[in-house]
């Protein structure tokens, strides 16, 4: 089969021929319909050789959807030909967090060397994908796999972050979204669907700000040194009750803290390496700063229900498997408006 692999530290990913896998007992083989392209993949490919956490070659892609092609011995709960999406943050299935569906916070992943697809395990940008357990498959139930596959990360991750802050987003409140690309433009829609808050979008790209306006942002400003002041002006000097940073570099994290009101939530979702000082006087009183990771299995089901209800419309650009390296080039250059989706068998 064909697959997109990261094969050498510092090199561009390549489309290569590799053996088609066969499912072992308990595993499921998917024929991949659609696979999302994410900045996290670029972060992996920019990691230096020293301390690189995964074995190479690595098939990329942690957002996957497909049809069930084969079942390993003992698999129940899914049927051949069923259209499904993959829940990405695999866990052990037995610890207290996994028992609650929070496999994103599994307590044994390091001990057992469990890795998500595309982030240590073979990923979804391939004609076929092995899924370790049927519990990591969510039926699409009529949803379009191309439109839906980004929701397994670009929908689930902002949903998990926003859900934690819903009590603070009462009528009259303000929520700020920093970075309105793949995750951020979905976050804008989620905030509009789930809250009565005024939604303010910040980005360095006018194209992405226009997308944010299109999907429901009440206000959209360039993310620069004046952005926090504009948020404060909008709110009468109070600031925002919740700030979600989907970039996570030092300047955006600083802006996030500067936008926050008393008792606000500042949630750093982006993996740009920025940090925010926390301590008495460093931020307004009782500001909470969080850095969440992905989301739970039940939350992914809730995200799909929101999509079925028409509350989320992911802006996607599609590419063939042979065009996948170019999709990563465009993503790295900031030229993807929304989410890039690879069609391995299209």
Q: Say if residue 292's pLDDT is above 90.
A: yes
The predicted pLDDT at position 64 comes to 98
| Residue 24 banded pLDDT, cuts 50, 70, 90 | very high
Determine the pLDDT at residue 82: 98
The band of 55, judged by pLDDT with boundaries at 50, 70 and 90, is very high
The answer to whether residue 346 scores a pLDDT higher than 90 is no
Q: How confident is the model at residue 303 (pLDDT cuts 50, 70, 90)?
A: very high
- Average pLDDT score, the chain: 97
The answer to pTM > 0.75 is yes
**How does pLDDT run across 210-220, given as a tens digit for each residue?**
999 999 999 99
Is it the case that residue 155 has pLDDT exceeding 90?
Answer: yes
Residue that has been written with the tokens 């925002």 in this structure: 240
pLDDT, residue 106, reads 98
Confidence of residue 176 (pLDDT cuts 50, 70, 90): very high
Q: Is a pLDDT exceeding 90 seen at residue 285?
A: yes
pLDDT band of residue 275 (cuts 50, 70, 90) is: very high
pLDDT in tens, 104-114: 999 999 999 99
Q: Return the pLDDT at 221.
A: 95
Question: What is the structure's pLDDT at 102?
Answer: 97
pLDDT at 140 over 90: yes
- pLDDT value, residue 322: 97
Per-residue pLDDT tens digits for 77-117: 999 999 999 999 999 999 999 999 999 999 999 999 999 99
Packed helices 206-214 and 184-194: angle between N→C axes, nearest 10 degrees: 30
Q: What is the mean pLDDT of residues 252-276?
A: 97
3-state secondary structure the chain: CEEEEECCCCCCCEEEECCCCCCCCCCEEEEEEEEEECHHHHHHHCCCCCCCCCCCCEECCCEEEEEEEEECCCCCCCCCCCEEEECCCCCCCCCHHHHCCCHHHCCCHHHHCCCCECCCECCCCECEEEECCHHHEEECCCCCHHHHHHHHCCCHHHHHHHHHHHHHCCCCCEEEEECCCCCHHHHHHHHHHHCCCEEEEEECCHHHHHHHHHCCCCEEEECCCCHHHHHHHHCCCCCEEEEEECCCCHHHHHHHHHHEEEEEEEEECCCCCCCCCCCECCECCCCEEECCCCCCHHHHHHHHHHHHCCCCCCCEEEEECCCHHHHHHHHHCCCCCCEEEEECCC
The answer to whether residue 294 scores a pLDDT higher than 90 is yes
């Amino acid at each position: 089969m064909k697959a997109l692999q990261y094969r050498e530290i510092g090199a561009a990913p390549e489309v290569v021929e590799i053996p088609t896998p066969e499912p072992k007992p308990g595993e499921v083989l998917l024929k991949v319909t659609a696979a999302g392209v994410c900045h996290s993949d670029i972060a992996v490919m920019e990691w230096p050789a020293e301390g690189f956490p995964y074995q190479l070659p690595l098939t990329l892609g942690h957002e996957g959807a497909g049809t069930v092609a084969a079942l390993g011995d003992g698999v129940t709960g899914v049927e051949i030909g069923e259209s499904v999406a993959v829940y990405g943050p695999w866990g052990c299935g037995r610890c207290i967090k996994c028992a609650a569906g929070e496999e994103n916070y599994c307590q044994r992943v390091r001990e057992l060397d469990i890795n998500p697809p595309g982030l240590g395990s073979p990923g979804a940008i391939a004609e076929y994908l092995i899924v370790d357990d049927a519990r990591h498959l969510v039926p699409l139930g009529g949803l379009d796999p191309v439109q839906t596959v980004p929701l397994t990360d670009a929908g689930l991750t902002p949903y998990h972050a926003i859900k934690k802050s819903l009590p603070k987003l009462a009528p009259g409140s303000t929520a700020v979204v920093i970075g309105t690309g793949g995750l951020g433009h979905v976050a804008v829609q989620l905030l509009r669907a789930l809250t009565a808050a005024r939604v303010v979008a910040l980005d360095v790209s006018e194209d992405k700000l226009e997308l944010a306006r299109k999907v429901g942002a009440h206000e959209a400003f360039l993310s620069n040194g004046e952005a926090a002041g504009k948020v404060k002006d909008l709110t009468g000097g109070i600031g925002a009750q919740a700030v979600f940073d989907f970039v996570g570099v030092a300047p955006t994290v600083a802006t996030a803290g500067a936008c926050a009101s008393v008792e606000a939530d500042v949630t750093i979702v982006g993996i740009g390496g920025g940090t925010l000082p926390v301590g008495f006087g460093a931020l307004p009183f009782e500001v909470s700063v969080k850095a969440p990771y992905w989301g739970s299995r039940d939350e992914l089901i809730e995200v799909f229900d929101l999509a079925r209800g028409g509350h989320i419309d992911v802006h996607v650009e599609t590419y063939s498997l042979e065009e996948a390296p170019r999709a990563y080039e465009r993503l790295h250059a900031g030229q993807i408006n929304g989410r890039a989706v690879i069609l391995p068998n299209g």
